Structure 1
Amino acid sequence: MSKRTADQGDGVGPLKDRDRPDAMDVDEKPNDMGEFEDEFEDEFESDDEIIEAGVDGRPDAEREAEEAAASGMDVDNAGPGTFIVGRTKLDPGQTLSPDTTTYRMLHNLSTPWPCLSFDIVRDTLGDNRTVYPATMYTVAGTQADRNKANDNSIMVMKLSGLSKMDGDEGGESSDDDDDDEDTDPILESKSIPLTSSTNRIRTHQTPSQDPSRAPTTLTATMTESSHVYIHDISPHLAAFDTPGSIITPQQNKPLCTIRAHKAEGYGVDWSPLYPAGKLLTGDNDGVIYVTTRTDGGGFVTDTRPFQGHTGSIEEIQWSPSEASVFASASSDGTIRVWDVRSKSRSPALTMQVSNTDVNVMSWSRQTTHLLASGADDGEWAVWDLRQWKPSGTSAPGKPTPIASFNYHKEQITSIEWHPTDDSIVAVAAGDNTVTLWDLAVELDDEESKDTAGVQDVPPQLLFVHYQNLAKELHWHPQIPGALVATGDEFSVFRTISV
């Protein structure tokens, strides 16, 4: 949740689907790291490799007094005058600051250039981690000014010292709790040079045949130049925990450059069921290619494209349960389901799910017949693929979603199912918000009366997080409830509600 506080600042409009934000104020040549931001305190320690900073440097009494004076979004007792983040207009001179009592963890960080696409890298620190301070690894692609294209890079990042909020009890404890109050968040970064902005980046890990060794971590980066670069970032990840490691120019070179596309694109996904590496890429011409890693370690792109969309490919995802099946979402308003074994290279299913661009989608990992989609008109929906029937040569059908929400009034920019709970969905939108939803919530008549005063706020809405220029989000697969979102900066947070 967020609350209003009086503070001078200029508002920034929402980021449309392929628009790029203004550049941040950076030096001529950015260094290899970002910085954790403290909106209340500008002091931080830094050197050439590591930046440390607190999240909330104010005295507890000052912060608590402000929280007591400012109202959050209390939907239980809300009336017609309720302030709704992303919907209600701020008064002149007001900006939003987080209500820290609603977060279990909250950290913000900035990078030399905006990173509008990123992915979380699975690590060897264990699953279901609840110990603080937390550590995580991510990879992101930058969007430098067009006249500074050579400043672009892939940023491989290690985030450590991610402490929980002061006063959070949360039912979790660890031997490290006593040390948690003294830790500062640390961001370390390794850069891989690029000569073009990143539209989308995704990671894939190939298990090592030696159980004692870490997996090989690959990235696929689809760039504004239309080229797709595949890198091995395993040396960069290992360097964080190996003092004195030096990344060589050879290790920064791509393993493969895919030049099949004639237009830039945004559709990129690695198959979760093909350990060696099988990659989908889709472009603004509506063309989709499959690239497969060979036994010898090289990559081969099948030059026979999958075609059928009449608009740009906005999102591609492999099925989490069927190795030959994938889905694509397009600006033509359809989602199409394909089988790579098809000789015709045409879709098996075509469904018109929106009258506007379908920007994003997410396939549930727990209930694999469920697919969520988000559109340019701000509506997001959940579909049961078992209800979709082959349309043959007839016009695309328009199925009925099993759930749909038009709470957001700007385009949906990212959507993702919770990795272990198929009732929880996270959504990012152009109204500068990240929202969390619980599809299992159902209200009886009495509860409906209690919430009648909050107009257009569905009972399934769990939480609203303010994220300026919200663009992409991902759940951390190994830290329950932890989310990372990006826009004009990164947010790493966990709420007390999930």
Structure 2
Amino acid sequence: MNKKEGEPEPGMEVDGEDNDMREEDSDEDQTDSEDDSDDEKFEDKVYVPGEKIEEDEELAVDENAYILYQQCSLGPPCLSFDILHDQVKSNYPLTVTCVAGTQAAKVTANNIILFKMSNLNCVIPSRDDDSDDEEKVIPEKEKPVLKMAGIKHNGCVNRIKYNKIGEAHLAAAWAENGTVAIWNLNTIMARLDNPYSTEAFRDESPPLQAFTGHTSEGFALDWCKTEAGVLASGDCKKNIHVWRPTEGGEWSVSEQPYVSHTQSVEDIRWSPNEKNVMATCSVDKCIKVWDVRAPPDKACMLTKNNAHLSDVNVIDWNRSEPFILSGGDDGAVKVWDLRGFGPSSEPVANFQHHKGAVTGLEWHQEDSTVFASSGADDQIALWDLALERDSEETPDDDVTNKLPPQLLFIHQGLQDCKELHWHSKVPGLIVATSHTGFDIFKTISV
């Protein structure tokens, strides 16, 4: 696992020539001016995404903006993953464990991968006297370690979600062939935890249970946070099925689908506080809230039509406040107050920062005003709803005036970012996946 440079966020530096050279009459003053210009040749500037980068300018990571920043790749792209929050070493150097599903070009090469990143140390910023041409040498004992084990999976994994029930570590996975399956991760976890197992391992055991009742593939998937073992899966043909665990160690899946959307169900999120309530979003531009105690055709309680200008891709519940986040193909991130949610409701906040589709959203695990968003514009943005612009402290010509005052931080360096998750046991730590691999970072902002 190697750390590599990414593109910058506000606070990162842009190196550019300073042509504002002072002209002096005396030769001595001219010499002094030239000496001064050597120090001022490269001016540090804040780069705002979307701005033009001149030929003589270069983007550089401001390492002082990060407490931790690492990157890794598992080989094939993994466009969905989940964090095993209970499998962590939260003091530095950190250890973080995740499960991901691959999207390999060869169907038979796909896997569910359990991977552990250990020895994750804090960023050590370069000193001013360090040469830009010299690569920083990391001592062997401080290098991060990546270890992984896999389960053979038939085809690409569209979405994967982790859950622990008793002593069983489980992953629910949407497959591109239209099957939703639940897999037991205990065998590969034991392999991962064995300090003497160094060779790659691929388990070929079948899933605990597979459901083929969906009429197409899908992406919407979520475990209930308040009732053990309950799962919901939604497909591209607008159907949602609810899974409930039975005494025999299997799941009973609703035969009749929950239907109210008119197009593909893109995301499902169970309420963090009410076990029978879930929210969904869809290509039909709607956000819906359901009570699954009602018959499937009558379970939809609330609907917000035209919540976005186009597809609504992702949603997330706030854990302590009555708010839902939504992100769409229109690049907008919106905050909805559930106390007045319905057909005529308007968002309490609407951020138009992303220049591409919003692909990931998640509230901070502890701070109810902070959330993160990712987009097809290769950005991860950190937000704080509690912030307001202080016009007295910010000059009118400050480039950050172009940004929403609630925008804390922009992380770049990924290509086609898909999902992000906060780590509940390491406050402020984010793991994100993209076509270039995984980014693991903690900023000074959160």
State the TM-score, normalizing by the size of structure 2. 0.83
Q: Map Cα deviations across residues 123-174 of structure 1 (whole Å, 9 max, x no partner).
A: 2547xx3x211001000001111xx111111110011011101159xxxxxx
Of the two, which has the highest radius of gyration? Answer: 2
**Structure 2 equivalent of residue 469 of structure 1:** 416
Q: Which moved more, 1:410-419 or 1:462-471?
A: 462-471
Choose which of 456, 459, 468 in structure 1 pairs with 2:402: 456
TM-aligned CA deviation for residue 183 of structure 1? 1.5
The residue type paired with residue 491 of structure 1 is: D
Assess if the C-alpha contact under 8 Å between 2:214 and 2:235 holds in 1: yes
Q: Does 1:108 align with 2:71?
A: yes
Q: Which protein has the bigger strand share?
A: 2
TM-aligned CA deviation for residue 99 of structure 1? 1.8
How far apart in 2 are the matches of 1:228 and 1:240? 25
Assess if the C-alpha contact under 8 Å between 1:407 and 1:456 holds in 2: no
**Structure 2 equivalent of residue 483 of structure 1:** 430
The residue type paired with residue 456 of structure 1 is: K
TM-aligned CA deviation for residue 333 of structure 1? 0.6
Assess if the C-alpha contact under 8 Å between 1:218 and 1:232 holds in 2: yes
The residue type paired with residue 95 of structure 2 is: T
How far apart in 1 are the matches of 2:175 and 2:139? 39
Assess if the C-alpha contact under 8 Å between 1:132 and 1:180 holds in 2: no
SS of alignment partner, residue 386 of structure 1: helix
Q: Which moved more, 1:441-450 or 1:348-357?
A: 441-450
The residue type paired with residue 94 of structure 2 is: A
The residue type paired with residue 88 of structure 1 is: E
How far apart in 1 are the matches of 2:430 and 2:350? 23
**Structure 2 equivalent of residue 36 of structure 1:** 2
The residue type paired with residue 71 of structure 1 is: D
TM-aligned CA deviation for residue 433 of structure 1? 0.5
TM-aligned CA deviation for residue 432 of structure 1? 0.5
- Sequence identity of aligned pairs in percent? 36
Assess if the C-alpha contact under 8 Å between 2:149 and 2:201 holds in 1: no
Choose which of 308, 312, 320 in structure 2 pairs with 1:366: 320
Q: Which moved more, 1:299-308 or 1:89-98?
A: 89-98
How far apart in 2 are the matches of 1:468 and 1:105? 20
Aligned counterparts, 1:289-368, within 5 A: 289-346=241-298, 347-352=300-305, 353-367=307-321
How far apart in 2 are the matches of 1:106 and 1:266? 29
How far apart in 2 are the matches of 1:452 and 1:70? 15
Q: Map Cα deviations across residues 372-415 of structure 1 (whole Å, 9 max, x no partner).
A: 000111000111111024xxxxxxx2411111100112110000
TM-aligned CA deviation for residue 345 of structure 1? 2.6
TM-aligned CA deviation for residue 241 of structure 1? 2.1
**Structure 1 equivalent of residue 387 of structure 2:** 441
Q: Map Cα deviations across residues 47-93 of structure 1 (whole Å, 9 max, x no partner).
A: xxxxxxxxxxxxxxxxxx99x946352xxxxxxxxx312x2244469
Choose which of 216, 227, 230 in structure 2 pairs with 1:263: 216
**Structure 2 equivalent of residue 204 of structure 1:** 163
Assess if the C-alpha contact under 8 Å between 2:372 and 2:383 holds in 1: yes
How far apart in 1 are the matches of 2:271 and 2:417? 26
- Return closer, same or farther for 1:140/1:69 CA change in 2, 3 Å cut-off: farther
Q: How many residues align?
A: 398
How far apart in 2 are the matches of 1:183 and 1:334? 48
TM-aligned CA deviation for residue 119 of structure 1? 0.3
**Structure 1 equivalent of residue 370 of structure 2:** 424
Assess if the C-alpha contact under 8 Å between 1:441 and 1:460 holds in 2: yes
How far apart in 1 are the matches of 2:397 and 2:174? 44
SS of alignment partner, residue 339 of structure 2: helix
Q: Does 1:162 align with 2:107?
A: no
Of structures 1 and 2, the one with the larger relative CO (CA 8 A, separation 6+) is 1
Aligned counterparts, 1:113-124, within 5 A: 113-124=76-87
How far apart in 1 are the matches of 2:279 and 2:4? 41
**Structure 2 equivalent of residue 402 of structure 1:** 348
How far apart in 1 are the matches of 2:312 and 2:183? 29
Where structure 1 has 5 or more consecutive residues not aligned to the other structure, the ranges are: 1-34, 41-64, 74-82, 169-178, 208-214, 390-396
CA RMSD between the two structures: 2.7
Assess if the C-alpha contact under 8 Å between 1:314 and 1:331 holds in 2: yes
Assess if the C-alpha contact under 8 Å between 1:164 and 1:180 holds in 2: no
The residue type paired with residue 2 of structure 2 is: F
How far apart in 1 are the matches of 2:429 and 2:240? 32
How far apart in 2 are the matches of 1:468 and 1:96? 16
- Return closer, same or farther for 1:197/1:70 CA change in 2, 3 Å cut-off: farther
Choose which of 52, 59, 84 in structure 1 pairs with 2:48: 84
Assess if the C-alpha contact under 8 Å between 2:48 and 2:400 holds in 1: no
Aligned counterparts, 1:9-48, within 5 A: 35-38=1-4
Assess if the C-alpha contact under 8 Å between 1:363 and 1:370 holds in 2: yes
How far apart in 2 are the matches of 1:495 and 1:456? 21
**Structure 1 equivalent of residue 34 of structure 2:** none
The residue type paired with residue 67 of structure 2 is: R
Aligned counterparts, 1:171-190, within 5 A: 182-190=141-149
Q: Map Cα deviations across residues 253-281 of structure 1 (whole Å, 9 max, x no partner).
A: 21011111111111000001112x11100
